[in-house]
Chains A and B, each alone.
Chain A
C-alpha cells in the first residue's frame, strides 16, 4: 500500500537575503527534495547552520521557497490564499517555549489556535481540555505560564498545536533549552502524539538519542540530504556522521569502538539494552 504523502519538497532552494540582495551563507537550502508520508515520525539531524531550521520554516509557509515547491496535503505553501489551510494542517513548536506562549493563563494559551480558527466556544473548551489531558498538563490549566518549568511550558506549547487538530507537527529543536527531565517529558509527549494519535511528527534535533526513536532519520549538511534511512541504518555510518561533525548515540559509539578493537560485535546498535545484549553475546562466544 502506498502511503499518502503529507509534506512534499520538490527541488526546493532557499537562501536568506541580507541587505542589497546579498545572500547569507548559513541556513541555505539547495535542491532539496523530501517526501514525508502521513503518520511518520521523521527526525532531521544536522549541525548548526546546515539548513534544518530553514526546512522547518518552509514546511508551513513561514518561509516560501525561492525556487521549487513545497506541497502540504496537496496545497502549495506559496499560495497566499491557502496559507491558513496549510497552517491548519502543519503545526509548529519552536525551541524557546517563552517566545511562543501568548496568554497569561495556560488554558487560554492552548485555546489561542482554535480561537483564531473561529471554532465555537464549547468546542474550544472540549479541545483544550482534551489537549491538556493528552500532554498531562490538565491540572495546571489555571496556572500562569511563567511559573512552569521549561518542559511543562513546552508541553503547553504542544497542547496548543494538538488543540488545532493539525495532521502534522513540526518541532524545531523543542528540547534544546530544557534540562534532562524536561527533555524526557517532551520526548514522551512527542512519541504519544505519533503513536496514539497518528499525528505526523517532524522532529528537528541535534540530539542523537532523540533521533534514534524516530521511524526515519534524515541527515542534512550544507542544505542537502546526506543520509536518509531508518535510524539503525543511518547510525551504521559512524565515520560519515563524525565527518559531518555529528555524534552517534553512546551505545552505537561503544559498539563501533569495540568493533574497531577487533571484537565481532554487531554494528547496528542503537540503545544501551541492545548494546548490553550484544556485548554479552560476544562474551558468551568466548
Chain B
C-alpha cells in the first residue's frame, strides 16, 4: 500500500497544459496570481472566473481532484468572508440592526476575496497537477539560475530538492518497517492520551534518524563515485526548450491581463470610496 504513494499530486495526462514548458507554467501562474488582485468589478471578476474554468477544462484534470484541492482552504475562505462582511464599512447599508452593520462594500469585498482565493488555489494546483515534481525542480533551478551571479548555490539547492523527493518513498517504507519491528516487540502506538502517543513515537524516530544518516553517508559515497562535485561543468540530459505553444499561451495570458485592466477602466470599481 505504502509502495504506491505518489509524490506531489501529479495527474498523469497529455493535455496542452501537461505539454507546456514547466518554466512557462510557473511564470504564467505568477502572472495570474498578480492579475487576480487587479480585478475591481464584476466584469473583470467574471473574466477571471472564465479563465480559471477554461484552464481546468483544458487540463482534463477530473473535477473531483480540483475540489479536493479547494477543500483544505474552505475554512479560510469562509472565515475571511465573514470578517469582511462584518468589518468593512462604506457603501450603502444593507443590514443595520442593533450591533450588526452590514454594508454593500463588506458584501462585495467578501465575495471578491472568496472568489480570488479559490481561483488562486485552483490555478496554482493546475500547475502541480500537470507538472511532475522532477520537472518542477528542474524548472525552478532554471528560473533561479540568474541568482548564481550573487553566489547563490542554485544547482546544489536543486540537487537537494531532487534528493529529498527521491527519498520520501524510501523513508516512508522505512517508517513502516520500524513501526512493525517495534510493534513486534510490544510497543503500543495506538492507545493512550496525546502525551503517551508522542512518547511512543520516540522508538520510531530515533532508529529512523540513525538509518537516515547511514543512508546519507552511503549516498554521498555513491555520488562521489559518479563524479558529482557540486561545482560547475555539469550538463543536463533533458534540455528545456520553449516552443511555439509556450509563447502562444504567454500571448493569451497577456491578452487576459490586458482584458482585466481594460474592464477595470471601462466599468470602474465596484467598491465605493
A203 at interface, CB cutoff 8 A: no
**A interface: dominant SS:** helix
Q: Is A39 interfacial (CB-CB < 8 Å)?
A: no
Contacts of A98 in B (CB 8 A): 170, 215
Query: Count the A-B residue pairs with Cβ separation under 8 angstroms: how many?
Result: 98
- Residues B227 and A99 in contact, CB atoms below 8 Å apart: no
Asked if B176 is an interface residue, CB under 8 A from chain A, the answer is no
Q: List 21 A-B contacts (CB under 8 A).
A: A62-B224, A84-B229, A91-B226, A92-B222, A92-B225, A94-B222, A99-B215, A104-B162, A104-B165, A104-B166, A107-B237, A108-B134, A108-B237, A108-B238, A114-B235, A116-B229, A117-B227, A118-B234, A124-B237, A147-B3, A164-B226
Interface residues of B in 178-199 (CB under 8 A from A): none
- How many chain B residues have a CB neighbour from A under 8 Å? 31
Q: Which residues of B contact A118 (CB under 8 A)?
A: 233-235
A112 touches B166 (CB 8 A): no
Decide: A121 and B235 in contact? CB cutoff 8 A.
yes
Cβ-defined contact, A145 with B166, below 8 A: yes
Complex partner residue of B234 from A62, A87, A91, A115, CB under 8 angstroms: A115
A233 within 8 A of partner (CB): no
Verify B219–A99 contact, CB threshold 8 A: yes
In the assembled complex, A177 has its CB within 8 A of some CB on chain B: no
Contacts of B91 in A (CB 8 A): none
CB of A194 closer than 8 Å to a CB of B: no
* B3 and A121 contacting across the interface, CB-CB below 8 Å: no
Residues of A within 8 A of B226 (CB): 87, 91, 102, 112-113, 116, 160-161, 164
> Taking CB as reference atom, which chain A residue is nearest B215?
A99
Tell me whether B34 is interfacial, beta carbon within 8 Å: no
Residues of B within 8 A of A146 (CB): 3, 169-170, 173
Cα–Cα distance between A121 and B224 once the two chains are bound (Å): 21
Asked whether B68 is an interface residue with its Cβ less than 8 Å from the other chain, the reply is no
Q: Least Cβ distance of A7 to chain B in Å?
A: 15
| Contact across chains for B219 and A114 when beta carbons are under 8 A apart | no
Measured in the bound complex, the distance between the Cα atoms of B165 and A76 in whole Å is 37
Contact with A along B204-219 (1 / 0, CB 8 A): 0000000000010011
User: Which B residues are CB-close (under 8 A) to A186?
Assistant: none
Chain A hits for B170, CB < 8 A: 98, 146
Q: A102-B163, A160-B226 are in contact. List 16 more A-B contacts (CB 8 A).
A: A60-B225, A84-B227, A87-B225, A87-B226, A99-B222, A102-B162, A102-B222, A103-B162, A115-B235, A116-B226, A116-B228, A117-B227, A120-B235, A121-B236, A121-B239, A146-B173
The reply to whether B227 and A103 contact each other, CB–CB distance below 8 Å, is no
* Chain B contacts for A160, CB-based, 8 A: 226
A250 at the interface (CB under 8 A from B): no
